[in-house]
Each structure stands twice: as structure tokens, then as C-alpha cells.
């Protein structure tokens, strides 16, 4: 296996090793790698401001200010003029959307919001699900502006985009639809270099999934295929994979994701990992040449002492740099989730890193 781990898996190599490798990988968790051993870029957020509770953050810029959206009961959001000082600014919804309660009567949160700008309006994809199941739904709301004081500020909810239901009543963690196995959570909207819109989403059973969207309805395009980009060995101690997002830079699509359970207090090892591909549909490969669809993923960040559980991220690009946005838990405050923002650097061979130059 070491030869496979240390070399790029080309399409030809993928075909050649495929017949036996899939079986072998069901008994292993992937290739080993050295731990992150560097001084990481500092978090620029002032924790004395409204930096918590912010969980699963997504960031966008509007009219000179930054807006971060967080998982919460109704989709809370925060704003800042400088990325350092933050203030709570309200919630996207006044009540749970009617369509969501019809689909999932037990729905009690607006989770993993993803904010982006597309064709003259801001898109907010969001999800809700029944805890410890993949009975989930992703919806979409749009707004012309992000400033709640602006006269044009109004969130318009467009309802259901993606739905996963358990295939069997007594197996609530095995879900999807008639076409694929997936979990309809943690969606990120992305437009590729050909201006094609995509939704990347999912978690452990079914893995990280990509589907092409109709550019008008922003629902899955007719006859669009569900493509698995990343997955993990389900029988390992902590097989969680979730919170994907894609960005493009210098000829590569980069897929970021979070590994391990986010919310088990002192036992958490939540962390961010990544791979890249020349094509948005993959295959994505980590720094060791290991495919993400076979459990790969290079470590980006695992902690920022005294913070732990650094994960569920987003990337924002300003004029001079990329910024990595994610949450982190503070054990001294009952593992409350805080916002963290730090510079994201790139190595000479075009891999992302939070290590200081």
C-alpha cells in the first residue's frame, strides 16, 4: 500500500488498482501521515466581542462589512467591519419555515448555513435534521442585501432543495432518495470555472456528495448524477466526515471537510482536512496521493490551544489573501463554540496551510 500512498492516483492507476483496492480499504482507515507540527497563524477574532456562540460559520462581505451566519434555533448572524470585532445582529428567520415543519415536524434548528452571492442576490442554503439520524432537509433563502437596516432587506424562502429520508424505519442513519445514498446536510453552493453551479454536501454514511444544480431553480438539475467525492471507513472508532466546501485556485479545485465527532466535549478530535483535483467532480487527492473517496485527507488544523475541535469551515478571499473561517470549542467554557478567523497560506506546490511562513 505504501506505493499507492506515495504517488498520485491517476485515472489509469485508479482503474488498475480499483478491483482489489476497494475490498482492501474496507479493513483500513487510510495512509498514515505526520501530525501538524508548526506555529499556526493566529486567530484575528477578539473573543471579548460577540464571537460566541457561533457554530458552523459561513462568511460573506457586503457594503464594507463582513457577515457570519451560524447554526442556531433560527439562523443567527453576526457582523463586523474588520474581522476582529463582532456584534450579534439577529436571526434570518422569525420562526421555523412551514415547509420544513411539514417535511420534518421535529425540526428544531436552522443548521450549517452557507452564504454566497450569485446572479445579483445572496443565497443562504440551510438544513435541519433529526438528531442522530440522516432524516434531513436542505432549503434555500435569498436576499438582495445583507444589512438588516437596508430598505431592501428581506429574506425570501424558496423551500426544499434536497431531502434525505431513512430507507428503513428501524435504521435511521441510512438515508437518501431513489437515486443515491446521502445525508442532506452541510450543503455548500459553489460555481465552477465554467460557471456551472453545484451543491456539495453530506456526512458519514454516503460520504461527501456533489450534485449539479439548475442555474435558475438552484435545485438538482434534471438527470444530474450524485458523485461521491470523499468518504471514510465506517468501522473505525470515529468515522465522521462532514462540512464540505470547495474553492478554486490556480488550476485546482480544493475540497475541505471536517473529520471526527464535533460535539463530544473532552473526547472530541474534530479537525479540518483537504484534498484537490483538476476537475470539480474529482477524484480529489491528498498530499500523499491518497484519494479522498478512499478515506484520504491531509490535515489542515486540529486545535488552537486552549481551543479544541477546530472545524466546520469556510474560506473568504480578500484583495491580498485567503482567510480560513471556522469554529473552535473552549473547554474552560463548557466547550462553547467560538468564531475563529486566520490567514490561509499556500505552499510552493500549491497546497493550503495554516502554518506561519
Examine the pLDDT at 202 and tell me if it is beyond 60. Answer: yes
**H or E segment and range at residue 168:** strand 156-168
Q: Is the pTM of this model over 0.85?
A: yes
Write down the pLDDT at residue 32: 56
Q: Which CATH number fits domain 2-353: 3.40.50.740, 2.115.10.20, 2.40.110.10, 1.20.120.1200?
A: 2.115.10.20
Give the 3-state secondary structure of residue 206: coil
Taking only the tens place, the pLDDT of each residue in 276-285 is 999 999 999 9
Write down the pLDDT at residue 33: 66
Q: Would you call 320 a catalytic residue per the annotation? A: no
29 pLDDT band, cuts 50/70/90, is: very low
Examine the pLDDT at 18 and tell me if it is beyond 80. Answer: no
Write down the pLDDT at residue 317: 93
236 pLDDT band, cuts 50/70/90, is: confident
Domain ranges of the chain: 2-353
- Average model confidence (pLDDT) for the chain? 91
Q: Which of 114, 242, 286, 304 is catalytic?
A: 242
* Spatial separation of the C-alpha atoms in residues 56 and 3, rounded to whole Å: 37
Write down the pLDDT at residue 69: 98
Examine the pLDDT at 26 and tell me if it is beyond 80. Answer: no
Report for 7-11, 87-91, 204-208: range of highest mean pLDDT: 87-91
Q: Tell me if the bond preceding 306 is cis, omega within 30° of 0.
A: yes
Sheet of 207-212: strands edge to edge?
188-191, 197-203, 207-212, 227-230
Cβ(191)–Cβ(123) below 8 Å? no
Q: Which of 56, 103, 186, 314 is catalytic?
A: 56
Place of cell 423551500: 159
Examine the pLDDT at 297 and tell me if it is beyond 80. Answer: yes
Q: Which residues contact 45 (CB under 8 A, 6 or more apart)?
A: 51, 83, 84, 86, 338, 339, 340, 341
Across 290-299, average pLDDT: 97
* Spatial separation of the C-alpha atoms in residues 168 and 238, rounded to whole Å: 23
Q: Would you call 267 a catalytic residue per the annotation? A: no
Across 82-99, average pLDDT: 98
Write down the pLDDT at residue 13: 43
Amino acid at each position: 500500500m505504501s506505493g499507492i500512498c506515495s504517488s498520485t492516483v491517476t485515472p489509469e492507476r485508479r482503474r488498475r488498482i480499483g478491483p482489489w483496492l476497494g475490498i482492501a480499504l474496507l479493513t483500513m482507515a487510510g495512509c498514515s501521515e505526520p501530525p501538524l507540527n508548526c506555529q499556526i497563524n493566529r486567530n484575528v477574532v477578539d473573543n471579548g466581542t460577540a464571537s460566541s456562540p457561533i457554530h458552523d460559520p459561513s462568511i460573506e462581505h457586503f457594503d464594507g462589512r463582513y457577515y457570519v451566519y451560524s447554526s442556531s434555533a433560527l439562523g443567527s448572524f453576526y457582523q463586523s467591519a474588520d474581522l476582529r470585532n463582532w456584534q450579534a445582529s439577529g436571526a434570518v428567520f422569525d420562526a421555523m419555515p412551514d415547509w420544513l415543519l411539514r417535511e420534518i415536524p421535529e425540526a428544531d434548528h436552522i443548521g450549517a448555513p452557507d452564504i454566497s452571492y450569485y446572479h445579483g442576490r445572496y443565497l443562504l442554503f440551510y438544513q435541519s435534521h433529526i438528531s442522530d439520524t440522516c432524516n434531513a432537509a436542505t432549503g434555500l433563502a435569498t436576499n438582495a442585501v445583507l444589512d438588516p437596516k437596508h430598505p431592501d432587506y428581506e429574506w425570501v424562502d424558496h423551500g426544499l432543495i434536497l431531502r434525505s429520508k431513512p430507507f428503513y424505519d428501524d435504521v435511521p442513519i441510512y438515508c437518501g432518495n431513489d437515486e443515491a445514498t446521502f445525508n442532506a446536510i452541510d450543503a455548500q453552493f459553489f460555481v465552477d470555472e465554467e460557471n456551472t453551479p453545484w451543491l456539495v454536501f453530506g456526512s458519514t454514511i454516503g460520504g461527501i456528495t456533489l450534485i449539479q444544480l439548475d442555474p435558475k431553480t438552484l435545485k438538482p438539475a434534471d438527470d444530474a448524477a450524485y458523485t461521491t467525492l470523499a468518504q471514510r471507513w465506517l468501522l473505525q472508532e470515529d468515522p465522521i466526515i462532514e462540512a464540505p466546501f470547495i474553492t478554486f485556485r490556480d488550476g485546482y479545485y480544493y475540497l475541505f471537510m471536517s473529520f471526527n465527532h464535533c460535539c463530544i466535549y473532552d473526547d472530541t478530535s474534530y479537525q479540518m482536512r483537504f484534498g484537490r483535483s483538476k476537475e470539480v467532480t474529482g477524484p480529489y487527492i491528498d498530499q500523499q496521493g491518497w484519494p479522498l473517496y478512499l478515506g484520504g485527507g491531509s490535515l489542515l488544523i486540529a486545535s488552537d490551544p486552549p481551543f479544541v475541535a477546530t472545524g466546520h469551515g469556510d474560506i473568504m478571499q480578500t484583495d491580498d489573501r485567503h482567510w480560513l473561517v471556522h469554529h473552535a470549542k473552549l473547554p474552560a467554557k463548557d466547550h462553547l463554540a467560538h468564531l475563529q478567523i486566520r490567514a490561509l497560506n499556500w505552499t510552493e506546490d500549491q497546497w493550503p496551510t495554516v502554518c506561519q511562513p
